[in-house]
Amino acid sequence: MVIPEHIKEKLDRLYCNQYLGAEEIGSIENWLVQARSDSQAEAWFSSNWELADNVEVDISFDGIRGRIKQYIRQSKTRQIRHFIGIVEKVAAILLLPLLILSVWLMLNRQHNSSVMMLATAKGELTHVFLPDSSEVWLNVDSKLEYSTDYNATNRSLKLKGEAFFKVAKKKEYPFTVYAKGFQVKAVGTEFTVSAYDDEPNASAFLKEGVVEISYFPENMKKQKLRMKPGEEATINLTEKSIHISQMGSDNSLRWRNGELYFKNEPFDQVFRKVERWYNVKINYNLDAFTNETLTVNLKKGESIMRLFQIVDEAIGIKVEQNGGEYIIKRE
């Protein structure tokens, strides 16, 4: 029997693990069926077969069939691996934009963050913990805002009203309070900021630590000062100036304990505080109280009528009540 050259070439590729198509495998199998009955073919296998180096094979009809089955199994495995490789590449291509998007979102979280708000009504006080474990006492009729990125990329807050802060130390992000055209920056300290919209002045009092206060009035050079414990910074919003003085006591913090404290305060300022503290409306003629000031400390739970009684004893007033509105007149 003469072995066709194309069969020799295909058998050689089969045993050398080279690629064979489905039609080539079919041609080998068809030839095996025909050569099976030829005794000369078996002898030819033994004497003339050329093998690739270091390849152990069974040179026989059954051995060739086994080799074909092995090749088909290996081909399927290679196809699967090739398919998986393609899937992995496609997945990588598809995931790349997602990866880029994830990184972009991470780097731009502050632009997509939302605002958290703490607020008190008139006559209401509250004490809360911020996400960084800093504590805040919020005075009556006050609002504190911060972003959902707080403690992750910053520790910045915006205040309207009055609040006392006990700051947790975290050097990565300075603790900064923005209020009414100025800011107070600290790392770990205790201080209060007062900045009501209806007040002509704003202030900051430092109880412990060190803070830096910056005032940036419109069309004017920024003013920056460092405060020491016991000092109070007063910002005159009309004159656009900032002044630091030594307080010597922390009477300005009595409100944290539910006490209403005044020291030589003019009555227009007293009445504004009383309105916020008791959630009432006070009508009065400011001219009747010119040059008058009040110094008093109301304990926690003392009523507005107790305050009016003290004022009456000091300067003489008449009080009329209409629901939540009080009309104050000098006698």
Q: What is the separation of C-alpha 27 from the centre of its chain, rounded to a whole number of angstroms?
A: 68
State how beta strands 281-284 and 325-330 pair. parallel
- pLDDT of 139 > 70? The answer is yes
pLDDT in tens, 224-242: 899 989 999 999 988 888 9
Q: Which of 18-22, 49-53, 175-179, 290-294 comes out lowest in average pLDDT?
A: 49-53
H or E segment at 179? Answer: strand 175-179
| Residue 28, pLDDT score | 72
What's the rounded mean pLDDT across residues 247-270?
Answer: 87
**pTM score above 0.85:** no
Helices 61-107, 5-15: inter-axial angle, 10-degree rounding: 50
The model's pLDDT over 290-312, given as tens digits with 9 standing for 90+, comes to: 889 999 999 988 999 999 999 99
Q: Are 190 and 173 in contact (CB under 8 A)?
A: no
| Among the listed residues 325, 163, 254, 191, the one whose alpha carbon sits nearest the alpha carbon of residue 262 | 254
Domain boundaries, the chain: 5-107, 124-253, 259-330
Q: Which amino acid is at 138?
A: L
| Helical axes 22-35 vs 5-15, angle rounded to 10° | 120
CA distance 207 to 213: 14
| pLDDT attached to residue 126 | 92
**Nearby residues of 173 by Cβ (< 8 Å), 6 or more positions away:** 151, 153, 154, 155
Distance CA 192, CA 139 (A): 10
For domain 259-330, which architecture applies?
3-Layer(bab) Sandwich (3.55)
pLDDT of residue 9: 72
Q: What number is the average pLDDT over the span 91-115?
A: 54
Q: Are 127 and 258 in contact (CB under 8 A)?
A: no
Question: Which two three-digit tokens encode residue 303?
Answer: 């009523």
What's the confidence (pLDDT) of residue 42?
58
Query: Mean pLDDT for the chain?
Result: 79
- The percentage of residues in the chain with a pLDDT greater than 70, rounded to a whole number, is 69
When pLDDT is averaged across residues 99-124 and rounded to a whole number, the result is 69
Domain 124-253 and domain 259-330, same fold? Reply is no
Distance CA(304)–CA(111), nearest Å, equals 46
User: Is CATH 2.60.120.1440 the classification given to domain 124-253?
Assistant: yes
Q: For residue 56, what pLDDT is reported? A: 43
Across the range 79-99, mean pLDDT stands at: 46
Amino acid identity, residue 242?
A: I
151/37 Cα distance (integer angstroms)? 86
